[in-house]
Chains A and B, each alone.
Chain A
Amino acid sequence: MLSAQHLTWHVQRDRKRLLNDVSFDVAPGELVVVLGPNGAGKSTLLRLLAGDLPLQQGEVRWKEAAMKDHAPKDLARSRAVLGQQNAVGLAFTVEEVVRMGRYPYYGNTPSRSDAEAVDRAMHTAQLDALRMRVLDTTSGGEQQRTHIARTFTQVDNNAPGPRLLLLDEPLNDLDIRHQHALMDAAKSFAKEGHCVLAVLHDVNMAAQYADRILLMNAGRITASGVPDDVLTAPILSEAYGLAARVMPHPCHACPLVFFDGSPKQTNTAGVQDQNHNAKARALSPIM
């Protein structure tokens, strides 16, 4: 399993703390979603877990060993990372980029099973028709799906033990259908006994798919637990500075969250007042 212990990280130059004593575990079988406003430290956390940033304080453990002690090649087969910056330099095709996810598995020539894994991932991400297209000429959503397929095909193997997916805002640029397709794929991957940690912005996606939610604010985990416990009006209003309303989802056994569009008043006097204001504005002819 994945375990982060007392992670603290600050920018070297101005000592600004981006993470402050963050600890949590992700158990095999779990899809854990990290939520929080911009600048809460979500991406810093993910980049620390992925090894993109050097550890300053604390430890990241994966499968009972420090993350840095895993052999790079073994790690590449048991852990895949979907980052946020996915611009590809030169004119690679969609298929070539997806095939890069198989690099940990072959030497000079991809084997039959590598080719099959690539096909499988491209089919799941509905990229079959784009196979030979140059990635830079496809839409933002198609590029994101290409990198998603690359990430999933990297951990497509029969090795025993849990594998890990780290996904930083994987829903970027995706349409609603592909958003749900991705979350479904991540969920079923977790259900096979693997660990998935995803940074999301969409609270309702987190509500619907997460086994557990870590809510971050100002470099700390301010709430964690199952969606029903974390996604409450007071916690969300506090975290995002926006009045939140939570009700049972009409179709799924999870909460459904609405936010009022205007910034929260300093006193917590009431969600009620704010909704009233919102209605008044909505009815105003000027608006």
Chain B
Amino acid sequence: MNTRQSIILFVLGAALVLAVLVAMQAGAVHIPPGAFFSSVAASLGFSVGAHSDMQHAVLTVVRLPRVLVSLLAGAALATGGTAMQALFRNPLADPSIIGISSGAALMAAVAIVMTHWASAFFGGWAGTFALPIAAFIGAVGTTFLVFGIAREGRRTNVAAMLLAGVAIAALTGALTGLLTFTANDAQLRSIVFWMLGSLGGADLNAVWVLLVAVPVPLIILLRMHKPLNALALGEDQARHIGVDAERMKRIVVLCTALMVGATVALCGVIGFVGLVVPHMLRLAGGADNRFLLPVSALGGAVLLCLADTLARTVAAPAEVPIGVITALCGAPVFLYLLVRRKSSLQFA
């Protein structure tokens, strides 16, 4: 890693700490730094300063899970985006390109519309868990479908995967549209809000789910920096330098589908993080995935943590959908970079 890349890594590390501190203190119940540190110290068994029980409860029960979910989800989305851009050799790719979001959206809509029906069969249990489970099945199932369509013999045609992803997204989008057409007003509102993303449901259960689903695929992807780089030379050339391109494609798609699928299932569709974070960091520090994958994880975590803080404070006590925030903040920055750096952009 060169100096520039080390600086970016350090800055993002510092930003992560700051973002967590800000996120823990900001909210409907304001917790000043003194009470915050006192509460943290109390959790660790020290008695420093003063805080109320209410502040302590808000921190541990409400905010901590939510911040952890935002960090894990942001890391998963951005790293998944980096991996997809490397896999497709295209800076426009993001996890949704292999059908993750569209499949999750369809199955989430199915779950929302059918909740009454499902509850009748499976009891109240279905009402709570049906949506995330359905969305996860939709995300991973669509990805496997896209991947399966792109198989020719023992090879996977990446160009076919791209086109299959677009076609499947159109198809699932149409089916989702059909469901919204038949939905009643309350269901429609649920579908629309789900598709704009929210961390409002983030509790300790969500943290555990993401702790199971995100870190392992994430670490596997971080360790695949060499094959992902080599793919930029083309599949034949990658094979000549000892990369098993077929095995690598399977692993990258599976890892991305698992961690992003789980994220989407719990938080809904959060656009732009998977596209913009890797793209901006590549412009800042270069395309080497040994650098880009870990800083994407950091950058995604910081971005989503701050975006969620904004989402729950800017119109408190109401919550703005987080997908709106990420797009509102991300798009102008992206456009600015595009206008400034368009001459150096390359589309393979």
Interface residues on chain B, number (Cβ under 8 Å): 30
Q: B242: nearest residue on chain A (CB-CB)? A: A76
Q: Is the CB of B230 within 8 A of A100?
A: yes
Q: Is the CB of A90 within 8 A of B236?
A: no
A93 contacts chain B at the CB level, 8 A cutoff: yes
Q: Is the CB of B348 within 8 A of A103?
A: no
A156 contacts chain B at the CB level, 8 A cutoff: no
- Nearest CB in chain B: distance from A233 CB, A: 38
Question: What does the 1/0 interface line of B150-165 toward A look like (CB < 8 Å)?
Answer: 0000000000000000
Which single member of A89, A103, A136 contacts B226 (CB below 8 Å)? A103
- Nearest CB in chain B: distance from A212 CB, A: 24
Q: Is the CB of A76 within 8 A of B240?
A: yes
A250 contacts chain B at the CB level, 8 A cutoff: no
Q: Is the CB of A97 within 8 A of B233?
A: yes
Distance, CA A50 to CA B286, complexed state (A): 30
Q: Is the CB of A96 within 8 A of B288?
A: yes
Which single member of A72, A73, A75, A92 contacts B287 (CB below 8 Å)? A92
A51 contacts chain B at the CB level, 8 A cutoff: yes
B26 contacts chain A at the CB level, 8 A cutoff: no
Q: Is the CB of A52 within 8 A of B242?
A: no
Which single member of A85, A90, A103, A132 contacts B232 (CB below 8 Å)? A90
- Nearest CB in chain B: distance from A2 CB, A: 15
Within 8 A of A (CB), among B274-289: 282, 286-288
- Give the interface size class of chain A: 20 to 34
Distance, CA A93 to CA B236, complexed state (A): 20
B229 contacts chain A at the CB level, 8 A cutoff: yes
- Which chain A residues lie closer than 8 Å to B91 at the CB level? 90
Stretch in B16-24, B82-90, B170-178 touching the partner: B82-90
Question: What does the 1/0 interface line of A63-82 toward B look like (CB < 8 Å)?
Answer: 00000000011011101110
A-B contact sample (19 more), CB < 8 A, given A72-B244, A134-B344: A51-B239, A76-B240, A76-B242, A80-B241, A81-B237, A83-B236, A88-B232, A89-B231, A89-B348, A90-B85, A90-B232, A90-B282, A90-B348, A91-B346, A92-B229, A92-B286, A92-B288, A96-B288, A103-B230
A-B contact pairs, 17 of them (CB 8 A): A47-B236, A72-B239, A77-B242, A79-B240, A86-B234, A87-B348, A89-B231, A90-B89, A90-B348, A91-B286, A91-B346, A96-B288, A100-B233, A100-B241, A108-B225, A134-B286, A134-B344
